[in-house]
Amino acid sequence: MEEALIRVKDLCKIYNPGENEVRALDHVSLEIKKGELVAIIGQSGSGKSTFMNMLGCLDVPTSGKYYLNGTDVSTMKDNDLSVVRNKEIGFIFQGFNLIANLTALENVELPLIYRGVGKKERRELAEAALEKVGLGQRMSHKPSEMSGGQQQRVAIARAIAQAPPVILADEPTGNLDSGSTKEIMSILK
């Protein structure tokens, strides 16, 4: 049987343990296999962001286990988690998190620098990712020179540039019309 890409067992995240504790995650278990597309939906305050932060190795659980690609990441320390985040996960944040004084190309290249990708390969990966999201003609533009939808595409290009095993997207099509939404979802697939 193929090992799950993501396996979460009895995951709990408790804020303010004790009398006024908030159980943001209460014994969540889940398996996601390679190639699966999973949406986490629920009302405001239901723990979606907390769960995304756990899956993205941005936070650690109060209890329970999280295996990413067969490795237990639930007990890792910050330095090790940042290495895992860098190599295994592409993030598409709701606010895009683009750097204002960098061009689209430089924004896409940035995580690749942290991954130790050489300059020539980095440039090729970034250009290919921007072409894929339809921004081949806008590579030298800064975020302020682009529409919200274009900025979102840069954020998507940044996440997919090195084809990480996991892409975590916080409402990746939130600012896009239905045609663009279909296009972006097919790129992510």
Percent of the chain whose predicted confidence (pLDDT) is above 70: 98
CB 64 within 8 A of CB 99: no
- In the structure, what pLDDT confidence band is assigned to residue 1 with cuts at 50, 70 and 90? low
This prediction has a pTM of 0.84
pLDDT (0 to 100) of residue 94: 78
pLDDT at 63 over 90: yes
- In the structure, what pLDDT confidence band is assigned to residue 176 with cuts at 50, 70 and 90? confident
Cα distance between residue 148 and residue 52, in whole Å: 23
- In the structure, what pLDDT confidence band is assigned to residue 66 with cuts at 50, 70 and 90? very high
Cα distance between residue 173 and residue 94, in whole Å: 9
pLDDT at 67 over 80: yes
pLDDT (0 to 100) of residue 179: 85
According to the 3-state scheme, what is the secondary structure of the chain?
A: CCCCCEEEEEEEEEECCCCCCEEEEEEEEEEECCCCCCCCCCCCCCCHHHHHHHHCCCCCCCEEEEEECCEECCCCCHHHHHHHHHHHEEEECCCCCCCCCCCHHHHHHHHHHHCCCCHHHHHHHHHHHHHHCCCCCCCCCCHHHCCHHHHHHHHHHHHHCCCCCEEEECCCCCCCCHHHHHHHHHHHC
